[in-house]
Structure formats: structure tokens, C-alpha cells
A and B are shown apart, each in its own frame.
Chain A
Amino acid sequence: MSATFVGMPAFPSAARAALADTQLRHNLAHATGTIRDKRARVVAEVEEWEDLRLAGAAVKQSALVDLDRHLVRLEETLTANGATVHWARDAAEANAIVARIARDHDADEVVKVKSMATQEIGLNEALAEEGILAWETDLAELIVQLGDDLPSHILVPAIHRNRAEIREIFLREMAGVGRPAPADLTDEPAVLAGAAREHLREKFLRAKVAVSGANFAVAETGTLVVVESEGNGRMCLTLPEVLVSVVGIEKVVPTWEGLDPLLRLLPRSSTGERMNPYTSTWSGVTPGDGPQEVHVVLLDNGRTRALADDVGRQALRCIRCSACLNVCPVYERVGGHAYGSVYPGPIGAILNPLMKGTGDPQTDSLPYASSLCGACFEVCPVRIDIPEVLVHLRAEVVDGHRGDRVPKAEAAAMAGAAWTLSDARRLAWVEKASGLAGRALTRFGRTRLPGGRAAAGRIPGPGAAAWTGARDLPAPPRESFRAWWRRTDGGRTDHTDTETGEGS
């Protein structure tokens, strides 16, 4: 697995660095806000949206619970259509297959359509080691590649860059890898897009080999589908002689009709359009039209691990629309890089641990990168219950640390709570103590929680300090319910507001 960005710190430290970058936060807030509004408008237009979600989820789920049968069928139909099917257990195997195909055609470069799967396996780096250059042709990917940067969003990988930064990158970097940007380049989006068009056209016209992913792979008909906006996908899928598509095994859709709810759900959820500008489908080789040599690499790389998880399996329904990123309050503030993976945001927080397994500190920190507010589930076009999977994975992370010599902060805090709650006398004592602390904490509390409740800044004690370092905790009430009951005879003699003394 090379899906974790090398040397990436665990989420909390990465997030702290990202939060300090005000330009980044500004770009993110603008971008996610814009796209959220667009999505909401076009989704509201579809009265049957909830039924459409049910249908979309069911299509993907039916593919997953019968995946072996559909994969065998897909292989059969693709082969009958003239495509060559390869299977790759992991990233290294997939990369080697693509490199071998390029070498067989003496290609020292390939053009690429934006594809999450090829990013996940680190294909560009693997090809570079073999002396093969991989050109990203999606505008955002080009910005990221030229800027020697990392993608930060599934759909808009350069969401963290504004137009002035993009102009700088084009002026500085294009000349080194092909047609230079015009000297009078402005930061008008149309002008920047025009420069990308000129820069990439010479690459499209001479490329012999293209690499793509696929949004869907129809088992019944042996059809691959690529959904895109710019036409760079069409260029790659049409112009070169050889096409290699790296397709995660979870992309299978059983039947041709099954594409229907998905093709209606995806564009509205992702770019907030009724339909994306271009969708291409192809079934193997079409004589005299497009690539005459077509390869499909079916990729596992951890997907079967996710499939084996009864709660987590649903994450494989994901159609990578990125709606969950745009509504996530955590993502909006820290951006994609802090997740340390090509799959950021809420879906990344579950997909990475599911595919890689828990156990390393970076992956283990991801299920905690959420406030469990549930907005991701609400927008997900295939109804992945992300909060449910997050909670499930948190349990797995905690289980994985049982027996550690130094317990995690959370485990210490929870163990303390269990000790206290399991005995009535201890509880009464702690309640009194925390009532005192509550008064102090209300006085010194740094902040107030939504709704105006007082918040405790940090609570004292070794384990607890780490646990509350990034969390707002309501200040404990000054009097416990048990004490209040005793004092007021169950409320019969109570005339005071014990919480804050303010009328409410």
C-alpha cells in the first residue's frame, strides 16, 4: 500500500498545521460553500431524490454481495469484446502491469485521465522509476502535478489553490515540461484554462498510450464508463492506440440498466449539475474507432479486506462524488492533506482504515477526524452510513490498543469513568468533587458551547488533558442531580436555578 502520503503525521498534528494556514482555510471555505449551494439547488429539483438514493444504494450493494460472480462475468464480457483483462492483488502488481504494457509499445510517456485508483497505487511515481513520464491531463491534476503538490479533494484536487497561485505555477513550470505558458498570462480562469488546453494538446496528439480509471464497469455487457467535464478524458480514451484502465473491483455494476440511478445521482451530487459535460462508455475494442488495444486491470489493494467487514462493506458503494467532503465541518476547516491519503474527508476517514487495516497511528487517527454530525450520510447518494462505520472503526482502534503498556488517553479517561460509575459511593464522591471543579471551570472556561452552555477548557489530570485538548466539554453542573434531589426533596422545595443563576 502506498496510499498514505509518505511521512504524514497523524490527523491531529496535520490538522493543526492546516488550521494555521489562513489562505488555505479561505480557499476551502469558499470552494466548499459554493459547491454545497450548487448541489442543494439541483438536488431540490428532483422530487424523487430519496427513492433515487435507495435505488442507487441497492444497485451497488447487489454488486458487492455477489462480487465474485460479477467479476467473473465482467472478465468474460470484456474478453469477448476484445479487451485484455489483468488482475492485481496490490499496488505493486498493478503498477508493474501498466509499466509492462507501456514498455511493450516503447512508450516513454503516457497521458492520464484523473483517476483515484491510479493515485491510490502511486502509479505516476512507479512509472517514473521505469523512465516513463505520466502526464496528468485534468486541469486540477495538472495544477497539482506542476506545483509538485498533493491533491486535496476528490473532485477538485486543487481546491486549495486560488487563481493567482495557479497563474504563478503555470508561468514557472509549464516551460520545463512542454509548451510554455504565454508570457502575458493573466489570472482569468478562462485564460488559465486556455493555457492548459494549448499545453496539453501537443501531448494528446503524440501520445501512444493512455491510462484511465473507470467510474463504473458493467458486468453484463463488458462496458467501462468514464464521467468527466473537460474533454481530457475523451482525448485519452479516443486518441492513443493503447488504453489501459485501472479499475477497482468495487466499480462493478451488474447490469446495463443499473447505470441509470447512478448516472442520475453522480453529477448532481458531485459538481452540482444536472449532467456532467461528458460521459464516455466503451465496450472493449471498436474496429476503426479509438484505441485498438484495450487493457483492463482489476485491482484489489485492500478492497477485499473492506468487503469482509460486515459494517464497513457499505463503504465500497462509494461513487466518489465528494459530496460528503463538501458538507463536512472538519474537512472544510482542515482540507484534504491532513487526512494523509488520496481519499480525504469523511469517506477517507473510513475507507483508509477499512482498506489498510487499523494499527498504525496515522490510519488509527482517521476515524476520530469527525464530529459525527451525520451531514455526510445525509448527502451521500448511495446512502453510506459513514457515522455508523466511524463508530465501528473507533471501537476497532480501541480494541487494537487493549494490552498496550501505556493506555491511550481516551482509554484512561473511559476506564476512570467506568470505575467511578460502577460504584454508588464513589459516584457520589466524584460528583461532589466535579461540582467544585465545575464552578472553577465555568469561571475560567474559554468558550461557550452552541446553545450557550458553558464549556470547560481543559479538565485536569494526565489522561484527561490529552482527551480534552481538541474537544469542548460542557462544564459539569455545580450540583449533581442526586444532590439536588436530596436537597429539594425531589424538586418539591426547589426555587433556584442551580445551573447558572440566569433566567432562561
Chain B
Amino acid sequence: MSAREEILGRVRSALEGVDRTGTVPPAPRVTPVADLVGRFAERVEDYRAVVERCSEADLASRVAAALPAGARVVVPPGLGVEVPGARVDDGLSAAELDALDAVVTEAVVGIAETGTIVLDHGPGQGRRIISLVPDRHVCIVRAAQVVADVPDAIAVLDPARPLTWISGPSATSDIELNRVEGVHGPRVLHVLVVD
């Protein structure tokens, strides 16, 4: 018998006589807050990320200011803002990306309750690798993309796409439970919330 048949057979006999009906109660919702975007900004900041709010008109200059002078920057194809001197990703290798300093991307959803940014790696966000290897991630989130909580995000996200949920810079608490920013992912997360 194949492993598949045997395991499924064991499952079936383990469940013999077990009542398979049963309801899953809907998960509770958080009490809505009036200022969703404000809550989002505040909670992202709690993770020791840099958070700035700006207007669409100021965006390009804010992005430029978020990048250290002389930084080598990569951007995904389709980014909605001009980043002078940046290299547009055309399939850069991991080693090539490792030689760059920063990346600028957009996002698909912001979650206010948890201060989380979600990327689905579509246009303006790029391949997963580009927002991972460079040490500084400048991420643009539009106010209209901010939702209240995790279930709202799950409802709008497409499971067929790869998703990266980001809540603050890379961190570890493995040494005596001290939170230290930055192990393997970007050590600086700079979020621009566009109102």
C-alpha cells in the first residue's frame, strides 16, 4: 500500500464514529477606532520602524529624504514614484542585491490593529527577494489601503499570490529575550503613509 493510502486509511479509521459536523463560530471583530490611519501609524512605530505621513505631492521628496546620500537603490517595475538613480529590478541575482543598500516598494494592505504591512508582490512591489536582501526598506502605504484588522486583510488578499506580512524591521528575541532589531531581513523599515 502506498504511504498516501495508508495514512488516509489510518485517518479514516481514527475518525470512525466521530461526529464530523460542527460549527465554527465567526471570529470576533475588534471595536472600530475612529482614526484608522492614525492607529496604523502608531502601531507600526511601536515596532521601532520609522513612520512618516505625507501627501501625494510630497511623496517623491520624502522618498528621496528617506534614502541616505549615495545609497545604491533598487525599485520594482511599476513603482508609482520616481526615484532618481535607482536601478529597476530586471531579475537581479541575490549576490547583486546584496551589494545594494536600499529598496523602495509599495504595499497592498496596511493593518491598523497590528501595525502590519502586507506585500503581494504585484506591480510596484516586485519580487519577494528585492524587499528582503537590501538592508533598508522604504515602503509606501496609501491611507485608503489601511484596514482595521487581520480578518479585513484576509478578505481582500489573494491567496494565489505569494504574500509577505511585515510588522516592523527584522528582529530576534533569542538572546535572553531582548528584542534586537535586524538579523536577516532589512534592519531599517521606513514607512511613508500617504494621505
User: In the complex, are the beta carbons of B164 and A289 less than 8 A apart?
Assistant: no
Measured CB to CB, the residues of A under 8 A from B are: 27, 30-31, 34-35, 46-48, 51-52, 54-56, 58-59, 61-62, 65-68, 71-72, 75, 81, 86-89, 93, 137-140, 143, 156, 158, 162-163, 166, 189-190, 192-194, 196-197, 200-201, 204-205, 218, 221, 223, 229-232, 234-235, 237-239, 249, 256-261, 263-264, 267, 271, 273-283, 286, 288-290, 298, 300, 304-305, 307-308, 310
Compute how far the CA of A47 lies from the CA of B167 in the bound complex, rounded to whole angstroms: 22
Stretch at the interface among B64-72, B78-86, B139-147, B180-188: B180-188
The 6 lowest CB-CB distance pairs between A and B, nearest first, are: A231-B185, A48-B28, A308-B14, A231-B184, A304-B10, A279-B165
Compute how far the CA of A31 lies from the CA of B12 in the bound complex, rounded to whole angstroms: 42
Residue from the list A61, A193, A205 in contact with B180, Cβ < 8 A:
A193
The residues in B between 46 and 94 inclusive whose CB is less than 8 angstroms from any CB of A are 46-47, 91, 94
User: In the complex, are the beta carbons of B151 and A257 less than 8 A apart?
Assistant: yes
Compute how far the CA of A31 lies from the CA of B114 in the bound complex, rounded to whole angstroms: 24
List 27 contacting pairs A-B, 8 Å CB cutoff, sorted by A. A54-B25, A58-B22, A68-B12, A89-B7, A140-B174, A189-B175, A194-B182, A229-B171, A238-B128, A238-B132, A239-B94, A258-B24, A260-B27, A264-B150, A267-B114, A274-B113, A274-B167, A277-B47, A277-B167, A277-B168, A277-B170, A278-B165, A278-B166, A278-B185, A281-B163, A300-B7, A304-B14
User: In the complex, are the beta carbons of A55 and B27 less than 8 A apart?
Assistant: yes
Determine the chain B residues whose CB is within 8 A of the CB of A189 once the complex forms.
Answer: 175-176, 178, 180
User: In the complex, are the beta carbons of B14 and A283 less than 8 A apart?
Assistant: no
User: In the complex, are the beta carbons of B2 and A87 less than 8 A apart?
Assistant: yes
Least Cβ–Cβ distance between A69 and chain B, in angstroms: 9
User: In the complex, are the beta carbons of B170 and A229 less than 8 A apart?
Assistant: yes
Least Cβ–Cβ distance between A239 and chain B, in angstroms: 5
Determine the chain B residues whose CB is within 8 A of the CB of A256 once the complex forms.
Answer: 154, 159
* B8 interface residue (CB < 8 Å to A): yes
User: In the complex, are the beta carbons of B25 and A51 less than 8 A apart?
Assistant: yes
Compute how far the CA of A75 lies from the CA of B8 in the bound complex, rounded to whole angstroms: 12
Least Cβ–Cβ distance between A92 and chain B, in angstroms: 11
User: In the complex, are the beta carbons of A304 and B129 less than 8 A apart?
Assistant: no
* B19 interface residue (CB < 8 Å to A): yes
User: In the complex, are the beta carbons of A277 and B94 less than 8 A apart?
Assistant: no
Determine the chain B residues whose CB is within 8 A of the CB of A93 once the complex forms.
Answer: 3
Compute how far the CA of A307 lies from the CA of B167 in the bound complex, rounded to whole angstroms: 35
Least Cβ–Cβ distance between B181 and chain A, in angstroms: 8
Compute how far the CA of A31 lies from the CA of B177 in the bound complex, rounded to whole angstroms: 6
Compute how far the CA of A35 lies from the CA of B114 in the bound complex, rounded to whole angstroms: 19
Compute how far the CA of A54 lies from the CA of B27 in the bound complex, rounded to whole angstroms: 8
Residue from the list A137, A232, A274, A308 in contact with B115, Cβ < 8 A:
A274
Determine the chain A residues whose CB is within 8 A of the CB of B115 once the complex forms.
Answer: 274-275
Determine the chain B residues whose CB is within 8 A of the CB of A290 once the complex forms.
Answer: 127-129, 162
Determine the chain B residues whose CB is within 8 A of the CB of A281 once the complex forms.
Answer: 159, 162-163, 165
User: In the complex, are the beta carbons of A55 and B26 less than 8 A apart?
Assistant: yes
User: In the complex, are the beta carbons of A260 and B25 less than 8 A apart?
Assistant: no
